[in-house]
A and B are shown apart, each in its own frame.
Chain A
Amino acid sequence: MKFEFLTTYWPFYIEGLKITIIYSVFAVIFGIILGVMLALMKLSKLKVFKAFAVSYINFVRGTPILVQIYIVYFGLFSFGISLADSTAGIVALAINSGAYVAEIVRAGIEAVDRGQIEAARSLGMSHFATTRLLVIPQAIKNILPALCNEFIVTTKNTSMLSIIGIHDLMYNTDTIRGNTLLAFEPLIIAAIIYFTISYVLTKLIGMLERRLKASDDRS
Chain B
Amino acid sequence: MMIEVRNLKKNFGKNQVLRGIDVDIHKGEVVVVIGPSGSGKSTFLRCLNLLETPNEGSIVVEGETITDKRADVNKIRQKMGMVFQQFNLFSNMNIMRNMCVAPMTVKKAEKEKARERAIELLRRVGLEEKADSYPQQLSGGQKQRVAIARALAMDPDIMLFDEPTSALDPEMVGEVLAVMKELAASGMTMIVVTHEMGFAREVGDRVLFIDEGKIIEENEPKQLFENPQNQRTKDFLAKVL
Q: Which A positions have Cβ atoms within 8 angstroms of B?
A: 113, 115-116, 118-126, 129, 133-134, 137-138, 141, 216-219
- Cβ contact within 8 Å between B91 and A216: yes
Q: How far is the CA of A219 from the CA of B89 in the complex (A)?
A: 18
Residues of B within 8 A of A122 (CB): 49, 51, 77, 80-82, 151
| Nearest CB of A to B157, in Å | 13
Whether the Cβ atoms of B78 and A123 lie closer than 8 Å is yes
Contacts of B150 in A (CB 8 A): 123
Q: A141–B93 Cα gap in the complex (Å)?
A: 13
B136 and A119 contact, CB distance less than 8 A? no
Q: Are A123 and B77 in contact (CB under 8 A)?
A: yes
Name the CB-closest residue of A to B85. Answer: A115
Q: Please judge, given known A-B contacts A123-B77, A218-B136, A218-B137, whether A113 and B88 are in contact too, CB under 8 Å.
A: yes
A116 touches B90 (CB 8 A): yes
Which residues of chain A have C-beta atoms less than 8 A from B231's C-beta? Answer: none
Closest chain-A Cβ to B111's Cβ sits at a distance in Å of 15
Given contacts A122-B77, A124-B102, A126-B74, contact A134 B136 (CB under 8 A): no
Taking the closest CB of chain B, its distance from the CB of A121, in whole angstroms, is 7
User: Assuming the A-B contacts A116-B90, A137-B92, A141-B92, are A123 and B84 also in contact, with contact meaning beta carbons closer than 8 angstroms in the complex?
Assistant: no
Chain B residues near A124 (CB-CB < 8 A): 74-75, 77-78, 102, 106, 154
Asked if residues A119 and B106 are in contact (CB atoms below 8 Å), the reply is no
- Residues of B contacting A125 in the complex (Cβ-Cβ under 8 angstroms): 74, 101-102, 105-106
CB proximity of A28 to chain B, nearest CB, Å: 25
19 additional A-B residue pairs with CB within 8 Å, beyond A119-B84, A129-B106: A113-B88, A116-B91, A118-B88, A119-B88, A119-B89, A119-B90, A122-B51, A123-B77, A123-B102, A123-B106, A124-B102, A124-B154, A125-B106, A133-B105, A137-B92, A217-B136, A217-B137, A218-B133, A218-B137
Q: Closest 3 CB pairs between A and B? A: A119-B88, A123-B102, A124-B78
Structural contact, B90 and A218, CB atoms closer than 8 A: no
Rounded to whole Å, the gap between the CB of A219 and the closest CB of chain B is 6
Inter-chain contacts of A216 with B (CB < 8 A): 91, 134, 136
Looking at A125, A134, A137, A219, the one whose CB has the most chain B CB atoms below 10 A away is: A125
> For chain A, what secondary structure do more than half of its interface residues adopt (helix, strand, loop), or is it mixed?
helix
21 A-B residue contacts at CB 8 Å? Answer: A113-B91, A116-B88, A116-B89, A116-B90, A118-B84, A119-B82, A119-B90, A119-B147, A120-B102, A121-B51, A121-B74, A123-B102, A123-B151, A123-B154, A124-B78, A124-B102, A124-B106, A134-B90, A138-B92, A216-B136, A219-B137
In the bound complex, CA of A116 to CA of B143 (Å): 13
Provide the residues of chain A in CB contact with B91, threshold 8 Å. 113, 116, 138, 216
In whole angstroms, how far apart are the Cα atoms of A116 and B137 in the complex?
A: 17
Closest residue of A by beta carbon distance from B153: A123
Given contacts A115-B84, A133-B101, A218-B134, contact A121 B77 (CB under 8 A): yes
CA distance A177 to B111 in the complex (A): 66
Residue with the greatest number of chain A CB neighbours at <10 A, chosen from B51, B78, B80, B91 = B91
Chain A: CB-nearest residue to B103: A123
- CB of B39 within 8 Å of the partner chain: no
Chain A residues lying within 8 Å of B75, measured Cβ to Cβ, are: 124
- A119 to B, closest residue via Cβ: B88
* Interface membership of B219, Cβ < 8 A: no
Asked if B11 lies at the interface with its beta carbon under 8 angstroms from chain A, I say no
A134 to B93, CA, bound (A): 9
Q: Does B86 contact A (CB under 8 A)?
A: yes
Contacts of B136 in A (CB 8 A): 216-218
- Residues of B within 8 Å of A137, CB to CB, are 92
Could you tell me the distance between the alpha carbons of A124 and B74 in the complex, rounded to whole angstroms? 4
Chain B minimum-CB-distance residue to A118:
B51
Q: How far is the CA of A116 from the CA of B133 in the complex (A)?
A: 18
Report Cα–Cα, A183/B123, bound state, in Å: 75
- Bound complex: CA A122 to CA B102 (Å): 10
CB contacts (< 8 Å) of B154 on chain A: these are 123-124
A115 to B102, CA, bound (A): 16
Residues of B within 8 A of A118 (CB): 51, 84, 88
* B72 (CB) vs chain A CBs: closest residue: A124
